[in-house]
Structure 1
Amino acid sequence: MLRLALGLLASAALLPTLAQAADIIEPIPVVEEIPFSGWYIRGDVGYNFKSDTEGKWAFYNIFPGVEGIDDHYRYDDLRLSDAATFGVGAGYRFTDTFRMDATVDYFRSDVNGKTKCPLMIITDPAHGLGPFEECNYNDRSKADVWTIMANAYVDLPSFGVVTPYLGAGVGTAYVKYDDVKSNEVCPPCSPSYTPYSGTHEGLDDWRLATALMAGASVDLTSQLALDIGYRFTKVWEGDAWSFDSADKQYGAKGVQTRDDGFDIHTIRAGLRYSFF
């Protein structure tokens, strides 16, 4: 009985010490993730590969009594040269896998075209051409192209800091052509013949544009990501050039040349910055 009483007294004496020790043990802190606002901005640079297209132009007959458009001729070759492209945008991440943004991109490209001379020109006695000899028109110009797009992306499962994605976009393109210099190239023509050389005023218009994207982002920091990808952009058909001054003197007006649109293949790299 004495031993039991002594044990109880010893336990009672240790209670304050144990309570103090419990007070010393601090709870493990909970690390809370800093929520992002969802908004981000982006900037991109890229390289457009050469883009082959097609187009047609109207031949205006200036001979008295038959003035007017005789026929339409298609280009044998019409293309945009390769060019650098620049873009900016802003977007919003809705979920871990879905985001959208609006982008504005710009590039300036050389435009080169080639087409055979019309039959009326080839058979003109002043040319002195045989039935199988060639005569061509070579066109040289430049074009400014702006695209304004609304894009949607699906981010695929990540591999460490790398997140692949797929995307699609729709919007509008503003295409503005410089004046085109058109020269008749006819080596076998008669030496007394003066080949045609003329300038046609460049036109501009707004067009439909669509795009498909694929790429991957690399997280550089918690807010900054490197974006590397491929984009295919379809710019639909539109106006290119008007008639030259000689045709206009005989009553020609309106659009003489239209292109069939452009299929633009682009490799891009840029940065995305997300806001807290």
Structure 2
Amino acid sequence: MRISRVCALVGAAVSAAVLAVSFAPAQAADLGYGSVKDIPPPAPSGRAWYLKGTIGMTNSEPGGLWTGEYASGDFSIHHKDIKSAPLYGIGIGVEHSRWLRFDITGEYRGKQHFVAHDSYNNGGPCPGSGCGTNDHSANLESWLGLFNAYIDLGTWHGVTPYVGGGVGLTSITTMGYKDINVPTGGFAYAVNDKTTTNFAWALYAGLSYDVTDRFTLDLGYRYTDLGSIKTSAVRTYDDPELLSPFEVHDIVSHDLLFSGRFRLDRPAPSYPVAFK
């Protein structure tokens, strides 16, 4: 009696298992898939770490100019410029989501040539010691480090426009400063090279294109505020007395950037899925 009851329970369990197995494919078919294996995994979260390399061009502009000698007379600045130079950068970042990215970048901005021209009239005899001109020149070598955040604005035919911003530090070395006064035959120079470290900030806009699922090309514009610089003390060739430094205020740069981003891993699923 007990044996027959056990056999009946076993038979019922087998029947239930057969019904469950036959019902699962039918349910998958109702969802439009031929089998459970054909059901796609969930959409990826978009998060991935990447390495970044950048080349580009700087287009810097000096703001105001100042030296202590400007306080002694009537000075007029006629020309000021910082020549363009190539830049080279590397960085590491993370695509936090499909819309938001962060990276840290370091950049060498090459050697840029600074030039300026002014004239003065201090009330004395002119032509003579009471008036003259100054031709200023120096080489600028700079490094820039930034922490950046970007917002991707959607993708159309593989092209993604974006905007962004960054904050960080810049180190600018002023080298070989000279001040030549042609009318009076005067010459002055900075005693030493001088390095200035400033707070820096930047604004970005650009377009990126996914060449593959792991490699992206990026063409961007950046407005960069680099702060102010000054030389060391200045000395004339015929006078041991030290004069005040020459200062360049509020340097900004309109930079053109061409970058490549390589994802170190493909985007991870947003939640675990079963292996086939």
- TM-score of the superposition, structure 2-length normalised? 0.74
* Conserved 8 A contact 1:156-1:164: yes
Q: Which residue of 1 aligns with 2:195?
A: 204
Q: Which residue of 2 aligns with 1:274?
A: 263
Q: Which residue of 1 aligns with 2:135?
A: 138
For the residues of structure 1 that align with 2:133 and 2:128, how far apart are their CA atoms? 12
Matches within 5 A, 1:150-229: 150-186=147-183, 195-200=185-190, 201-229=192-220
Change in 2 beyond 3 A, CA 1:257/1:220: same
Deviations 1:67-87 (A, max 9, x none): xx8579674432211111111
Task: State which of 100, 110, 113 in structure 1 corresponds to 2:113.
Answer: 110
Amino acid at match of 1:103: T
Change in 2 beyond 3 A, CA 1:215/1:226: same
* Conserved 8 A contact 2:76-2:118: yes
For the residues of structure 2 that align with 1:72 and 1:171, how far apart are their CA atoms? 38
How many residues were matched structurally? 231
Change in 2 beyond 3 A, CA 1:165/1:53: same
What's the CA shift for 1:29?
Answer: 2.8
Q: Which residue of 1 aligns with 2:251?
A: 262
Q: Which residue of 2 aligns with 1:43?
A: 53
What stretches of structure 1 of length at least 5 have no aligned partner? 1-18, 61-68, 187-193
Change in 2 beyond 3 A, CA 1:240/1:118: farther
* Conserved 8 A contact 2:216-2:261: yes
Task: State which of 70, 83, 86 in structure 1 corresponds to 2:88.
Answer: 86
What's the CA shift for 1:116?
Answer: 1.3
Change in 2 beyond 3 A, CA 1:30/1:247: farther
Change in 2 beyond 3 A, CA 1:230/1:124: same
* Conserved 8 A contact 1:183-1:196: yes
* Conserved 8 A contact 2:46-2:97: no
Change in 2 beyond 3 A, CA 1:52/1:206: closer
Q: Which residue of 1 aligns with 2:38?
A: 29
Percent identity of the aligned residues?
20
Q: Give SS of 1:127's match.
A: coil
Moved over 3 A (4+): 25-28, 30-37, 69-76, 245-248
Change in 2 beyond 3 A, CA 1:240/1:181: same
1:54 lines up with 2:64 in the alignment: yes
What stretches of structure 2 of length at least 5 have no aligned partner? 1-21, 26-33, 266-276
1:231 lines up with 2:222 in the alignment: yes
Change in 2 beyond 3 A, CA 1:155/1:34: closer
Superposition RMSD in Å = 2.9
Change in 2 beyond 3 A, CA 1:128/1:182: closer
* Conserved 8 A contact 1:42-1:273: yes
- TM-score of the superposition, structure 1-length normalised? 0.74
For the residues of structure 2 that align with 1:89 and 1:199, how far apart are their CA atoms? 37
Amino acid at match of 1:80: I
For the residues of structure 2 that align with 1:262 and 1:216, how far apart are their CA atoms? 26
For the residues of structure 2 that align with 1:58 and 1:72, how far apart are their CA atoms? 12
What's the CA shift for 1:202?
Answer: 3.0
Q: Which residue of 2 aligns with 1:8?
A: none
Matches within 5 A, 1:239-258: 239-244=230-235, 249-250=240-241, 252=242, 255-258=244-247
Amino acid at match of 1:199: Y
